[in-house]
A = this chain, B = another copy of it.
């Protein structure tokens, strides 16, 4: 397996590239651990901002289907292990004193969307899409998605995204204010790095204080919600629905949901 996270630093900006070739940068335990480790080290790296993007023009397709199938067939503890690592990474993104900026090309689906929403700022290509996705394979959201969407959007729109699992254009989230900049395809990374560079040149204690206050104001119940999501998806992964959903997805056929 190739390196799941490619890290570089230019001045005070770290760029982290999610890389899972041929799988639209779907996520793995290794990615969660690599990004969490980067976040842990960042404060000691003379780093003023982090840009998170995906290799080869795609932000992140979400959970790796093989990994999900393996977990679906595993013990309750094993089903839970993946979401615990994801949640640990999400917590570190939110508690990190420096801003994290997503540069989104292509799409952000499932846990990839949760990861995008966990960023402080989002720059997206105007032809990208987002997709809550989980329901398509009989699962429930994790990585804080339900908390992040509830803070950002009316319940009806958030419910539509999660109950249908359909793609929605980034334009819709830009209008709402979830996405900060819409740019021409191919230029999200450069724009995100420019924004990151500007923030990295700013007053770091002040920026850290603003992020901490914003987090406290925006997500007073995040920890409770991460726990609820984790319990829900760990149970869902063991269900007949998820087994059918994952098998149908891998077989490129329509699922026949058990009743």
Contact = CB atoms under 8 A, between A and B. Distances in A.
Contacts of A232: 209, 212-213
A131 interface: no
Interface string A109-148: 0000000000111100000000000110011110000111
Interface stretch (A52-60, A63-71, A72-80, A150-158): A150-158
Interface residues of A, number: 72
Copies of this protein, total: 3
A140 B202 contact: no
Given A146-B213, A162-B214, A228-B213, A156 B140 contact: no
A206 B153 contact: no
Given A163-B211, A199-B163, A206 B158 contact: no
A150 B157 CA distance: 15
Interface in A179-226: 179-180, 198-199, 201-207, 209-214, 216-221, 224-225
A-side binding surface: helix, strand, loop or mixed? helix
Contacts of A180: 156-157, 160
A176 to B, nearest CB: 6
B146 A214 contact: yes
Interface string A227-253: 011001001100101101100000000
B203 A159 contact: no
A138 B204 CA distance: 8
Contacts of A82: none
Contacts of A224: 216, 220
A21 interface: no
A36 interface: no
Given A201-B257, A257-B201, A236 B154 contact: no
28 contacts: A119-B156, A120-B163, A121-B159, A121-B160, A121-B163, A134-B210, A135-B203, A135-B207, A138-B205, A139-B206, A140-B206, A140-B210, A148-B155, A150-B151, A152-B154, A153-B154, A156-B177, A156-B178, A163-B199, A163-B211, A201-B257, A203-B257, A204-B257, A205-B239, A209-B236, A213-B225, A213-B232, A216-B225
